[in-house]
Amino acid sequence: MRVVDTHLHLWDPWELEYHWLEGAMHARFAEAEIFEEQLPGVSEEVSIFVQAGTVDSAYIDEVAWVEGIADAAGVVAIVAGALLDRGDATAAHLDRLAAHERVVGVRHLLQSEPDGTASASEFIAGARLVAERGWTFDACVVARQLSDVTALAAAVPDLFIVLDHLGKPQIGSAEAPLRPSAEWLRDLYALAAHPRVRCKLSGLPAETGGVWTDAQVNPFLDAALDAFGPERLLWGSDWPVSSVETGAPAERGYLVGARARWFRTVADWAHARGVDADALFWSNALEFYGIR
């Protein structure tokens, strides 16, 4: 099996500045660390790096740092950090990113922004610049913000958007699982009605504190399959965020093997549903991100 991990984070707090890293997260996760977490039984594995939450002023430095370790880490493309609602500053930033050949898309981290940010006129103007370059946009939102992404897709129909982490629905815990909510299902289907939107099967382990059961997550994967169809689904590990326990920062630990466990969960689900594994884990990602 061939695999494109469409959602890999790498960072080094001794090389770049981050304000959110705590506990087990405050460590180096780079080429040596991802090598130790390679997926078993996979014939070929590459990854898309997704911006990892440096301070805004370090977005370009982050791209340069990743480029320096990309070959060793198996990174074939970069989704860079960008603030899309800054007018001329946004345009200048995108111009600087264009000098880096591995950049194929951008992410303005919406989950920490006020609701409605993605539907504001300034943001839409920046998103149009992204679309004009033929780049993609990774939409990382919490469930209540899904409608904002739908509004963005309607306002910029030429923009290719991928929903990170299924929109972060509440899925409960392994001991007390939750079913997909009516509100999340409604908003997911509304977003999927836009043909240039894709969905990443990623991030659910982080919503469970790193402990989950297949029976717990399968209803959410089923909903994504029904809404988007198999040709618009991508797989991502969300490593190492989804490999760290939640809870008090001092009590969080790194979960060795969680990346491979999530891969096997999704692979088993795909096999049971008759989903083409080569498309889900390989060709859908290459087509979406324009990787040759």
Q: What's the average model confidence in pLDDT over 253-278?
A: 96
- Global pTM? 0.97
What is the mean predicted confidence (pLDDT) over 104-110? Answer: 98
For 214-261, write each residue's pLDDT tens digit: 999 999 999 999 999 999 999 999 999 999 886 655 567 889 999 999
Q: How far does Cα 182 stand from its chain's mean position? A: 23
CB-based contacts of 77, cutoff 8 Å, min separation 6: 48, 49, 102, 103, 104, 105, 289, 291
Q: What is the domain-level CATH number for residue 71?
A: 3.20.20.140
pLDDT at 292: 84
Q: How many domains, in total, are found in the chain? A: 1
Domain enclosing residue 63, as ranges: 2-289
- The Cα 105–Cα 160 span in angstroms is 9
